[in-house]
A = this chain, B = another copy of it.
């Protein structure tokens, strides 16, 4: 039985807490949030103590591991305090939107032998993982092209969230950067990005973009394309397509049902896509938790590491710099 303290019980933290509570070999024992009602709401739902005092959670005997789901700009602090308290950590992505702070955190972490898993949930999606597995098993020979379609539904997040999110590349594309690394099994070494403001004036006002296309290449010469949008009227569009000498493997979108409709205005009409990550990646979030529990139980290191989080951010930075300078950017991971 792995007992979790949830650090941050907003929307995502609350979701994680409820998933953990359903696991036969895990439980939530503590919930922390700076807003007391958040901590209490989640705590009651999962039978856990609620607190606004982080030290109470980190010092509790009945906390074997923590899940960090606070606002992004507090992740580094939470990681360091949890590491200091000796708790295994599952931390939502990104580590931080400021690569300097990530590097500092990395330096400080050297003092601890911390177990830190980054929350790249999409790696655990059965469809995307099926693509990764097929590529890793050599089904299509050497990977030559990877096409990632990743478009959020609308409307865009509230302005307050957009202001702190780091912008499209660090907030959204970062997931696709991780997916690219995951499926390709190689780190991209050069990135070029084009982007535009098409969705909502708020993005331009914040100096951000809402629509983007990226191309990257790896040392082996594999090419990768990512396209992003902040607004999709048919749901959350999430696809991965891997191409090589031996063929192609694709992961397609998930829908609430397998119903199809035929009528005078069209045939084979399917449901709208699932709305957003909470619905679309429900199974992935559960598989992520199970993987975290399993690695700890087995005494093994995490399958998604701090370094994975750092490298995805470095790639997001490279995409942003490419967009800003209108030049391809070489990626330096050292």
Contact = CB atoms under 8 A, between A and B. Distances in A.
Interface of A: 18, 22, 24, 45, 126-127, 129-131, 134, 139-140, 142, 144-145, 147, 149, 151, 190, 192, 194-199, 211-217, 221-225, 227, 229, 231-235, 237, 243, 245-273, 326-328
The 8 A-B residue pairs with the shortest CB-CB distance in the complex, in nearest-first order? A247-B263, A130-B259, A196-B221, A248-B262, A266-B269, A252-B258, A126-B257, A234-B262
Contact of A229 (B145, B250, B260): B145
Given A235-B267, A267-B270, A259 B127 contact: yes
Nearest to A272: B267
B247 A223 contact: no
A233 B264 contact: yes
Contact of A144 (B211, B234, B259): B211
Contact of A271 (B129, B139, B222, B266): B266
A213 B215 contact: yes
B225 A225 contact: yes
B248 A234 contact: yes
How many copies are assembled? 4
Given A223-B227, A227-B147, A249 B264 contact: no
Nearest to A140: B263
7 contacts: A140-B263, A147-B227, A233-B263, A234-B248, A254-B258, A267-B272, A327-B328
Contact of A267 (B130, B195, B255, B263): B255
Contact of A259 (B24, B231, B249): B249
A20 to B, nearest CB: 12
A265 B273 CA distance: 10
A207 to B, nearest CB: 16
A245 B233 contact: yes
Nearest to A125: B257
B260 A250 contact: yes
A196 B264 CA distance: 23
A22 to B, nearest CB: 5
A245 B231 contact: yes
